[in-house]
Structure formats: structure tokens, C-alpha cells
Homo-oligomer: A and B are copies of this chain.
Amino acid sequence: MSEIRKDPLSPTWVIIATERGKRPCDFAETRNEKEKVASGQHRACPFCGGEEVEAPIKAFSIWPGEIDKETKDWRTRVLPNRFPALNPDIELIQREAGHIYHMLSGVGGHEVIVDSRRHADELATMPKDQIEAVIRTYRQRYKFWRKDPRITYVLIFKNYGLAAGASLAHPHSQVVATPIIPPRICQELEEAKCYYEQEKKCVYCEMIKTEKNAEQSRIIWENDTMFALCPFASRFPCEILILPKNHAAAFDQLSEQEVSDLAQILSTVLKRVDMILGDPPYNLMIHTAPQKLPGLLFYHWHIEIIPRVSMPAGFEWGTGIYINVISPEDAAKSLREAKCVSEEYLAE
């Protein structure tokens, strides 16, 4: 059973999840083996269409509406993680240890979303209707976890490529449901609340306005309801922020129009990142309001995409300050100009 521990020295939480039975010395070997994953060998991938029997026995396909109308095949699936960091079937217990230490039992959820039945698909290149199916699956998981009173936050994210932490080559996303509000979200909530109290405005809505009038543009692309930019304080080269233009605190408030527009902007932006950075590994994270607070006026859901082309090291770990050698203005310019090439690429 995993434990959720609070660091007494900083607002850091750690999930100690030893279920995999690893010992410290196993890491010496793991480093050498990891490269094998990179090749993404197709043989007997349990996530491929037609290989479903290989997937965990508890496997379930949610969202029957996402079954392909012509072939009757599934389009996306949600499976329990084989090595879950958190588990829904245990009791939520709080415990102290030695005065200064606090911990919770590892209650929560950890799921894998299979983004497509096709092994070679990826978010940047899959058909738009398949991306829409993935987005609707995300939305469904947020709604599903809203029913569990112990869960206060749900993160849906995607690690693409070995260097971004993906241990499987088949296109997939992950869902982690936690009984605590994560530090990163607490920080965003505090900052946004503080702005709201002073200005009576959502700082994210205000940012969209500000960006439209910026001297040097950081906008990458937009459509009727979605907006993509390189943030003013980008921590990484070509870091991307995608925001809905209409204020909404929770991701699962997405309308059908927004599902379609989000699929379009993700496809466009990721194709351009591919063009500029050469199919880089990346992490994609959805930031949404805590499960119990979907109606916040000062918070605004958004998606962060960080290409993993630079590496946080001692300076970043020691300070929480990031050094970025590409300005977001230059990155946005490159991503805007990738347009023509990208369109040719689309036409192929």
C-alpha cells in the first residue's frame, strides 16, 4: 500500500509507491535497459487493437459512444495502471510520525488511457476525430472521479517519448486522482485569487487580452474558442500554454464546439513543434480546478506542453528558478512561421 507523505521542510508531497518491489540497486541496471523502450517495438503490445486479451484482466472500456460506427471497434480505452501509485480500494487514513511528519494512506486512482488502437498514432499526427475521442475520454474521466468524495484533484497528462518519461511506445495518457490538492495547483490558485481580489478579474482572461496587444507577440495560433501562446515566463524552449477563450475553471465544462476546437489547436500546435524541434519528447498536462470547486471565478483551466529539449539541473532544483536560452517571443515567432511547412505536411 502506498503512502502520501508531506515534507516538513517545504510544501512538497511525495507518494511512496513501493508496489513494484524495486530495490535501490535495481536502478543501476534499469539505466542500461531503458534504451530498449525507445525503439518502441510493436511485438505483442497489449494496447494495440486486436491484442486486448493481453491487457490487465480488470480492463474496462469506457465511453461506448467512442466505438467506431463503421467497424464497431473501440477508439479509446481506459485501463487501470498495472503499477498504480494510488488505489481507490483502501481507506483514507491520516497519520503522524515523530511529531514533525505527516502522511496519508495512498487513496486515489491511477489509470491509463489508450489514445488509439493504432500503435503508430500520435497526438500530433492522428486524425482530428481521433483527437476528439481522446479529449472526450479526458472529459469523461474528470466527470467520473467527481463522484468520489475522497478525491479533491484529478490530473490528466501525457508523457510522449522516452526522455519525457513514457515507458510505453503505444499512444497513451494517464489519469491520477488524488486526495490532496497538489502544490503546483495550490500555487496557481493563490496567485490567481490574489489577482482577482485586487483587480476583480480572472488573470488568465486578462492574459489573453494582454497578449493580443503585446509589443512582441507570443501568440502561436488561435481559433474561435482556443488560444495558444508561449508564456511570458516560459521555463523551457517552445513551452506552450493553451487556454479556452471563454472563462471556465474546470476542463469538464468543455462544450462540443470546444472539443472540436481543442482537437484542432492541439493538432496544429504539436505539428509545428514537430517541425521546429524534430519530433521532440514532451509532457502535456491539463491544469483544472479542484474537483469540488468547478465554478471558481478566478481560475481558468489550461494545458501546458513542455518539449523536453533542455534539462532542469542543479540550478533549477536548488532554486525553482529556470534558465531558458530561447525567449518565448522567438519561440512563438518560429512556431507561427512553421505554418506553411506545416500545411504542406498536412496536405501530404
Please tell me which one of the listed residues B25, B214, B306, B334 contacts residue A277 in the complex, with CB atoms under 8 A apart.
B25
Residues 310-331 of A contacting B (Cβ, < 8 Å):
310-315, 317-328, 330-331
In the complex the two chains form, is A314's CB within 8 Å of B276's CB? Answer: no
Q: Within the complex, what minimum Cβ distance (angstroms) separates A28 from chain B? A: 3
- CA A207 to CA B99, docked complex, whole Å: 9
In the complex the two chains form, is B17's CB within 8 Å of A178's CB? Answer: no
In the complex the two chains form, is B100's CB within 8 Å of A320's CB? Answer: no
Binding site secondary structure of chain A: mixed
- CA A315 to CA B165, docked complex, whole Å: 10
Residues 18-51 of A contacting B (Cβ, < 8 Å):
18-20, 22-25, 27-28, 30-31
How many monomers of this chain does the complex have? 2
In the complex the two chains form, is A15's CB within 8 Å of B321's CB? Answer: yes
Question: Chain B residues with Cβ under 8 A from A234's Cβ?
Answer: 14, 16
Which B residue sits closest to A182, measured CB to CB? B319
Question: Does A122 touch B at the CB level, under 8 Å?
Answer: no
B-contact bits for A181-213, CB 8 A (1 contact / 0 none): 011110110011001000000011011001101
Given contacts A9-B192, A235-B14, A327-B16, contact A164 B314 (CB under 8 A): yes
In the complex the two chains form, is A330's CB within 8 Å of B187's CB? Answer: no
Q: Within the complex, what minimum Cβ distance (angstroms) separates A27 from chain B? A: 4
Which B residue sits closest to A233, measured CB to CB? B7
Segment at the interface with B among A125-133, A135-143, A279-287: A279-287
Question: Does A238 touch B at the CB level, under 8 Å?
Answer: yes
- CA A22 to CA B238, docked complex, whole Å: 12
Question: Chain B residues with Cβ under 8 A from A255's Cβ?
Answer: none
Segment at the interface with B among A61-69, A153-161, A263-271: A153-161
B-contact bits for A281-312, CB 8 A (1 contact / 0 none): 00111110000000000000000101101111
Question: Chain B residues with Cβ under 8 A from A318's Cβ?
Answer: 155, 157, 182, 184, 283, 285-287, 304
Question: Does A98 touch B at the CB level, under 8 Å?
Answer: yes
Which B residue sits closest to A187, measured CB to CB? B10
In the complex the two chains form, is A317's CB within 8 Å of B306's CB? Answer: yes
Q: Write 16 A-B pairs (CB below 8 A) sorted by A numbering.
A: A8-B195, A12-B320, A15-B324, A18-B327, A19-B325, A23-B326, A24-B331, A100-B207, A155-B314, A157-B318, A159-B314, A165-B314, A180-B321, A183-B321, A283-B317, A306-B317
The chain A residues found within 8 Å of chain B, CB to CB, are 4-20, 22-25, 27-28, 30-31, 85, 97-101, 153, 155, 157-159, 163-166, 174, 176, 178, 180, 182-185, 187-188, 191-192, 195, 203-204, 206-207, 210-211, 213-215, 231-235, 237-238, 276-278, 280, 283-287, 304, 306-307, 309-315, 317-328, 330-331, 334-335
A9-B231, A157-B313, A183-B320 given; name 18 further pairs at CB < 8 Å. Answer: A8-B232, A8-B233, A9-B191, A11-B191, A12-B320, A13-B320, A14-B322, A15-B324, A98-B211, A100-B207, A157-B318, A158-B314, A165-B313, A174-B314, A180-B321, A184-B320, A283-B314, A285-B317
